Structure 1
Amino acid sequence: MKAAVLFETGKPLQVVDGVQIPELLQGQVLVDVHYSGLCHSQLAEVRGHRGEDRWVPHLLGHEAVGTVSAVGAGVSKVATGDKVVLGWIKGEGQDVPGARYPLVKDGKEYLLNSGGVTTFSEQTIASENRLVKLPDGMPDKLAVLLGCALPTGMGLVFNEAKLLPDALESQGKSIAVFGLGGVGLSALIAAYTTQPKVLIAIDVEAHKLELAKKLGATHTIDLSTENWQEALQAICPGGVDYSFEAGGKAETIEMAFEAVRDAGGQCIFASHPKEGEMIRLEPHAFHRGKSIRGSWGGGSQPDRDIPLFVELYKAGKLPNLELLLSHEYSLDEINQALDDLEARKITRALIKIAGE
């Protein structure tokens, strides 16, 4: 098969042919990949923002849609022919190590490492607990978002903050979202379903702020041109009830914490700043009743949440979801996709590998 491989941290991925598929082990599932997503987590891995990759040569990617072509011993969650969502958040089923794929390249033999799920390849071997059968009613292209962006971003709102669609106790809140990548926009979409009084989108890119308006933001703040503290206070004096952060920097986490009100304001962040970055927070803000916490994958349980998200989509409660996927690339163009993501030219990249 063809796959994009990280051979050296900080260097471009190499798209290679001839990767061999090993025999399936207990709890492993072979999937033909249709589409893969691409987010800042992979960008950080490739660029070395999380430190040296100890697993090179390494297969990457952690959100995709595909079709099961074979199952290993003991697998009961999915069967051959099932269309599935692949994601990094562990769900039900066996949790088994990643496969190692043989490759001969330029006369040299390699064993390519992988984790419980990888998606930058024509086929992939995944752990049973990284798969969820895709319910009917959502196109493959959009369903890719169910592997990472939607569970993490929407989970910040639904699971972490306990703000639920159409619930009376969730309505009328003031909410700010810092960072409008795939996760931040997913949080914005989820926040919109709770019928907030104020929904503020905050970013440095004008095109993302325009997109946020289409997704339900009542106000936007451009960090590149506005004093955000003054702008936010003009919209919501005293601060917001909730802030959700997905900007990927220590600085934006600090902003999101500052943005919430005293006496109960909550800041919940999902981003992963570069290795070594530290956040600085005002200690007395905690005495005044502000709180902050990080989130691991939006607190999502894929087997519970993915069917819920599909039902919300089918019910028309996630309008314009397709706007999150701003650009489509082939597997051969994956390094261009990484460059465009780093340059903030795109929102969420879609890598077409096979399928519709």
Structure 2
Amino acid sequence: SYGFGLAGIFMLFGMLQFGFAQKIFGTIGLSPKHKNRIDAEAVNYAENNAFQQPMEQKAEIIPAHVNRDRIIVIGVFAFFTIFFWWAFEQAGGSMTVFAESYTDRALSGNSAMMFKVVNTLLTVVPMIILTVVLTNLFRKTFAKYSLSNIFLGTSFVIIWGIVIWMLLREFRADATEVPASWFGILNSFFIIALAPLFSKMWESRYNPSGPVKFAIGLILLGLGFAILAYGGNTIEQGAKTASVSMVWLILAYLLHTLGELCVSPVGLSYVSKLAPIKLVGLMFGIWFIANFIANYTAGLTGSFIDEITTKHSISYFFLIFTFIPIAAGLVMLGLNKMLKKKMHGIT
């Protein structure tokens, strides 16, 4: 398809952009025996821009039992994150099926115009912000990394062309139908809109412990699927199509994003805080193995949507993703005191 073709072109441009701007990284990522092959310009750049840690700072000696307890906490977090991403990743599968086959996406009159305006704002405003950022980047780096900037600029011009073409086609269309894939952008929008609020909240006195944040995230995720189950309760058993309100999907994506903001950045942060210095890479590897398991089981479970819908209903299918994350969240709440103790002061 055209989408995969464009993705391939942009991946090629991205590789070329990275290749022509490697010197910007200096000696970062190179083995010591290769560092002497780096030209003086790259070395000077790295020395002038790298974050230097004071030499007088010594690595803290942490008792073995503390490291052991913290590794256990990472393992518990990794285990429970499987439940979160297992359900959350239904966004790319069963939730898209729900949007495609069971949601009324046809709009007319004022509703159609409102969607066109909202869609335009959600698309154009981020593009304008990126344009300003990239323009400033070009001014600072074009002299040294001209080819890299040319490939980046070319990619951005193509993207602007696609955006303008898409919006013109949408406004000229006789009938308006929300694409099923459009709901996927709600997650990104809600993250951008709500992340500053969450950041401020975590910095205030309303800052729960890591396990509690995990529990809240899992429960919010389950409630999002509860909304979908409620919205689809009028769909008959075995029905292949229906026309329920898209409001249910929007609310579900909102709750899922709220849950993600409680789990995703918090989980990665605690892995880096809790992992022993020598095992940071291994611990992150274990964390992403948990994500792999979650994504695999998400696809496997989502593949049963037709079978479960035929035997029971679409609401029954979404209730599976309601009860399991909520149950996992309640268990995490119960483990809060024990996990906080094993974190040994890490907050």
Query: Same fold by TM-score, threshold 0.5 exceeded?
Result: no
Identify the structure with bigger relative contact order (alpha carbons < 8 Å, sequence gap 6+): 2
* Greater Cα radius of gyration, structure 1 or 2: 2
The two structures have a TM-score, normalised by structure 2, of 0.22
The two structures have a TM-score, normalised by structure 1, of 0.22
Is the strand fraction higher in 1 or 2?
Answer: 1
